[in-house]
Amino acid sequence: MNEEHIESLRNYSAWLCHAAGLKCPSISLTPDNDIYVSWRNEEHRLFSVHFLPNGDARFVIFAPDQEHPTKQVRVCGATATTALLETVAPYGVLDWILEGGQGR
pTM of the model: 0.88
Three-state secondary-structure class, residue 66: coil
Residue 3 has pLDDT above 50, yes or no: yes
Contact residues for 94 (Cβ-Cβ < 8 A; gap 6+) = 85, 88, 101, 102, 103, 104
| pLDDT computed for residue 75 by the predictor | 96
What pLDDT score was predicted for residue 103? 43
- Render pLDDT for 42-97 as a digit per residue (tens, 0 to 9): 778 999 999 999 999 999 999 988 899 889 999 999 999 999 999 999 998 998 89
Task: Render pLDDT for 10-24 as a digit per residue (tens, 0 to 9).
Answer: 999 999 988 888 999
- Could you state, in order of their start, the residue ranges of all structural domains in the chain? 3-101
Specify which residues 36 forms β-bridges with.
28, 50
